[in-house]
């Protein structure tokens, strides 16, 4: 089609006779040169076509982005905690991974190369996670397992039994990281009855966690959903072990640049939960124009852009998925060129912060947990 169109566009030399005849009869030299010209054009096109097709822009336009791990620099695969332990920068998050699907998600993740699983007692899926870990051939020492102390277990005497439950469900005798899930303590009896004392002062809870580190049941301890004021409230005490991490919601809609800056200045590593905006915002996150542009420019997926951005911001990232192809995709993080990184950072800060997760109303707290 292309060639015949090209041929038809060649000039004719005989106004009176048929085109073909005029070529043969009157202009044999010109015809030879014209055919030579066509041949040269065809050769050039044939030579460049595969290159054009292989090029990322063309490929992305026709088939969506391709993964291009060979040409992009990789981001750090681990961070070092104050204990000296190395924590993998990308984890499989299992919040909202339901029963019957979380086990296969963990199995897929381990096969894909994940070594970090971020869970919690309250996710109600630790048993299935534990079964998948047991069925895998990955040695325990190669794994990084995180769990979290639920709000009803902040009283020092309740902590070890809660930890033991998680350990037993996960089928392990130690955790790599155990976090205070929320800076909110509930009384054991009644639903969501605030324990004002332990909420106002988490130090007794922390001291017990320190004891459990010394006992060998936990390697590192940290916090989750703590704002700066609440962190300082805890660290104003003479801690034996500083919090190793603070796990908070960090995504395009809630990028928290001030908390990130403060945490870096104070040597506290952040972990990003709901990095894609959780199931309610993921579609919107992946459709952000800056995200899409960078994805097609780099030949990676929009999810990989956001996950990479999280690691490049200097945080651990915990994307959740129960879909095999996405689990594999989410582990591949790449360095985003500085100008694109800054574009993303600016775009994320342009709109008012919008959290996916704020249980203050649901728990009927007399305050906002993030204020």
225 near ligand A2P, rule: CB under 6 A? no
| Interacting residue with ligand A2P among 81, 90, 92, 93 (CB under 6 A) | 93
Determine the interface stretch with ligand A2P among 84-92, 159-167, 317-325, 347-355 (rule: CB under 6 A): 317-325
User: What distance separates the 2 farthest-apart alpha carbons in the chain?
Assistant: 106
| Alpha-carbon radius of gyration of the chain | 29
- Pick the catalytic residue from 123, 174, 178, 273: 123
Q: How far apart are CA 223 and CA 252, in angstroms?
A: 22
The answer to whether 264 touches 287, Cβ cutoff 8 Å, is no
Residue 174 a catalytic site member: no
249 near ligand A2P, rule: CB under 6 A? no
Determine the interface stretch with ligand A2P among 30-38, 190-198, 278-286, 362-370 (rule: CB under 6 A): 278-286
CB 98, min distance to ligand A2P, A:
9
Determine the interface stretch with ligand A2P among 73-81, 146-154, 213-221, 314-322 (rule: CB under 6 A): 314-322
3-state secondary structure of 168: helix
| Interacting residue with ligand A2P among 36, 279, 337, 353 (CB under 6 A) | 279
Q: How far apart are CA 285 and CA 16, in angstroms?
A: 65
| Interacting residue with ligand A2P among 256, 330, 369, 370 (CB under 6 A) | 330
| Bridge partner list, 251 | 254
| Interacting residue with ligand A2P among 326, 333, 334, 340 (CB under 6 A) | 326
List Cα–Cα distances, 143 to 49, 114, 146, 207, in angstroms.
Answer: 46, 9, 10, 26
The answer to whether 152 touches 140, Cβ cutoff 8 Å, is no
89 near ligand A2P, rule: CB under 6 A? no
The answer to whether 303 touches 327, Cβ cutoff 8 Å, is no
Q: Which residues bind ligand A2P (CB under 6 A)?
A: 93, 274-279, 282, 303, 319-323, 326, 329-330
Q: Which residues are catalytic?
A: 123
């Amino acid at each position: 089609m292309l060639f015949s169109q090209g041929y038809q566009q060649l000039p004719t030399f005989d106004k009176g006779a048929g085109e073909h005849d005029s070529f043969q009869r009157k202009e044999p030299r010109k015809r030879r040169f014209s055919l030579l010209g066509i041949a040269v054009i065809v050769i050039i096109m044939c030579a460049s076509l595969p290159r054009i097709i292989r090029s990322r822009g063309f490929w992305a336009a026709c088939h969506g982005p391709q993964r291009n791990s060979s040409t992009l620099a990789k981001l750090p695969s681990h961070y070092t905690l104050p204990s000296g332990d190395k924590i993998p920068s990308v984890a499989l998050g299992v919040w909202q991974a339901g029963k019957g699907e979380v086990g296969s998600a963990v199995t897929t993740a381990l096969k894909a190369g994940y070594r970090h699983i971020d869970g919690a007692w309250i996710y109600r899926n630790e048993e299935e996670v534990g079964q998948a870990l047991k069925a895998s051939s990955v040695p325990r020492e190669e794994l990084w397992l995180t769990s979290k102390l639920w709000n009803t277990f902040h009283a020092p005497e309740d902590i070890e039994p809660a930890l033991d439950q998680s350990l037993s469900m996960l089928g392990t005798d130690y955790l790599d990281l155990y976090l205070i899930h929320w800076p909110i303590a509930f009384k054991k009896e009644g639903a969501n009855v605030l324990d004002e004392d332990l909420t106002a002062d988490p130090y007794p809870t922390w001291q017990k966690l320190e004891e459990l580190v010394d006992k060998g049941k936990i390697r590192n301890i940290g916090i989750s959903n703590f704002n700066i004021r609440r962190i300082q409230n805890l660290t104003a005490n003479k801690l034996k072990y500083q919090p190793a991490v603070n796990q908070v919601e960090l995504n395009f809609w809630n990028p928290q640049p001030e908390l990130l800056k403060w945490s870096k200045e104070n040597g506290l590593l952040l972990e990003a939960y709901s990095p894609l905006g959780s199931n309610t915002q993921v579609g919107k996150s992946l459709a952000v124009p800056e995200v899409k542009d960078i994805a097609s420019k780099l030949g990676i997926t929009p999810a990989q852009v956001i996950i990479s951005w999280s690691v490049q911001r200097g945080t651990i990232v915990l994307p959740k998925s129960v879909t095999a192809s996405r689990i594999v995709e989410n582990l591949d993080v790449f360095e985003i060129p500085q100008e694109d990184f800054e574009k993303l950072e600016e775009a994320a800060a342009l709109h008012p912060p919008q959290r996916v997760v704020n249980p203050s109303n649901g728990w009927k707290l007399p305050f906002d947990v993030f204020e």
